[in-house]
Amino acid sequence: MKVDLSRYVNRHGGKARRLLWEVVWRLFAATTPRWMLQGWRRFLLRLFGAKIGGGVQIHGGAHVWMPPHLEVGENSWVGRDANLYCVAPIKIGANAVVSEGAFICTAEHDISSVKFELKTAPISIGDMAWIGAGAMILPGRKIGEGAVVAAYSVVTHDVEPWTVVAGNPARFVKKRRVEDLRPDLSVVILTQNEELHLGRCLEKLKPLNAKEIIVVDSGSTDATERIAKEMGARFVYNQWPGTQAKQFNWALDNAGINGKWILRLDADEYLLPDLVEEIKDALCLREPDFDGVVFKRRHIVGWLGDTWVKRGMYPVKMLRLFRKGKGRSNLREMDEHIVVDGKVVEFANDFVDHSLISKKEWIEKHRAYAKREAVQWATGDWGNKAFYYRMPGCFRAAFYWFIRMFVKGAVLEGPKAWSWCWNHALRYRWLCDREIAKIEKMRRRKTK
C-alpha cells in the first residue's frame, strides 16, 4: 500500500515561543564555558518557565525542548548533548545525573496511523538516579530512585529503584549497592554473661557501619566486657533493675546515646545482610518520613542443630529501630516492646534470634520466663494474650500447640520442628500455667 506522507501531522504547538527559546539558549547559554556561569544558565531556564533547584548544573550544549515542561531537583547534573525532549513533562529528581548524549524522549509517533500522529507521555527520573551516556528513555517511563541506566541502553519499561539495567531493551542486571554509607545510628545491646553470643552479634554489625555500639551490661562475670571492648563497642554498666524494659529505658536516659536513630538488639540476635543494606539505604540516602521500623524475626534453634523453625513461628514482627526521642519500652515483665510516638513502617528483610545455649540451659531459662509471665498475668496486663488467658487453663496450652503444629503448618517441617513446638508451644505454656495456678492458689488462701 502506498502511503501519502503529505498527510503527516506535526502537532507541536507554541512554535514562536520555542523559536525564541532556541535563539536565547544558543546565543547566551550554549556558548558559555562548561564549568562557568551555571547560575546564569539556571536563570535563563527559570526565566522561560522551568523549575530548577539550587545547585543544578546544566551544560550549555544540552538541548531543552520546552522549559515550562522541565523540573530538575537540587544538585542534579545534565551533560553536554543531552536531549531533554520535553514535549510532555520531564521531572528529574535531586542529586541525579543525565550523562552526555542521553535522550529523554516524551513523544513518539503512532505507527498504526497513516498520519503518524504524535503521542506524548511524561517521564520521571528519581532522586540519585544515573542515566548513562547515550541512553534513551522512551515516553511514559519511570526511573526509580537510585537506579542506574547503563550507557547506550534503551529503556522501554519502568526501572525499579536501586537497580542497574542495561541493553536494548534495557534489562535488570543487579541491585545497586552503595558502599561506605554511615547511618547516624546507635546500636544498644543488653547483656549479662553473653560471651557465647556477643562476638557474633558485633561481627554481623560491622557492615552496618553504625555511629556507635553501646553494650549495656548488668554484671557479667564472663568475658562479655573484654569482647565488647576488643570489638570497638562502648561498655556501660548498670545494676540489673529487674526487667529488660527498665534496663533499656535506663540506657535511653543515661548511656549517652549520640545517634539520631537507635537500634535495639539482644546479644543472641543479629542482622541479615539484606536488612543491613535496607537500614543503610533508608537512613542515609534520604530523610526518612517515619519514626519507627518493624522488623521480621527468624527463630533459629541452636540445640536443634541450628534449625530455622519457619512454619508455625515465622515471622515474629518486632519494632527495633526508632528515631531518638520518639520511642521507649513499655514496662512489662514479659513481652515488652518499644512504643513509638509517630509513623511506623515495616521493612522487608529479617533479623535472627539464634541462641547457641544447650537444651538444658534453654529449659532452665524458660522456667524463669514462666515465673515472670505468671507475675505479668497477675497484673491483668495480658496484652495480645487476652484471648489465650480467657480459655480454660487445662485446655489452652494444648490448643496453642495444635494451632502452631497444624494450623500454621509446623507439622510439615519434620521432627525438629515437632520437637520445638512440643517444648516451646506446649511445655513452656504448661510451665506458665503451673506458675499461674500457684498464684491463684495463694489468692484463694488469702481470701479465706
Task: State the catalytic residues.
Answer: 109
Residue 438 to residue 446: CA distance in whole angstroms: 13
Check: CB of residue 260 under 8 Å from CB of residue 184. yes
Residue 154 to residue 167: CA distance in whole angstroms: 6
Q: If residue 52 lies in a helix (H) or strand (E), which one and from where to where?
A: strand 51-52
* Cβ within 8 Å of residue 85, ≥6 positions away: 63, 65, 103, 104, 105, 106, 107
Q: In sequence order, what DSSP letters do the residues of 144-203 get, joined into one string? A: -TT-EE-TT-EE-S-B-TTEEEETTTTEEEEE---TT---SEEEEEEESS-TTTHHHHHH
Closest to 72 in 3D by CA, of 100, 101, 113, 104: 104
Check: CB of residue 201 under 8 Å from CB of residue 214. no
Calculate the CA 43 to chain-centre distance: 38
Residue 246 to residue 119: CA distance in whole angstroms: 64
What type of residue is 306?
D
- Provide the 10 A C-beta neighbour count for residue 162: 20
Residue 28 to residue 26: CA distance in whole angstroms: 6
What type of residue is 400?
Y
Give the burial class of 239: count Cβ atoms within 10 A of its Cβ; 0-12 exposed, 13-18 middle, 19 or more buried.
exposed
State the maximum Cα–Cα separation within the chain, in Å, rounded to a whole number: 107
Tell me 93's DSSP state. Answer: -
Residue 186 to residue 324: CA distance in whole angstroms: 9
Q: Which three cell numbers stand for residue 225?
A: 566486657
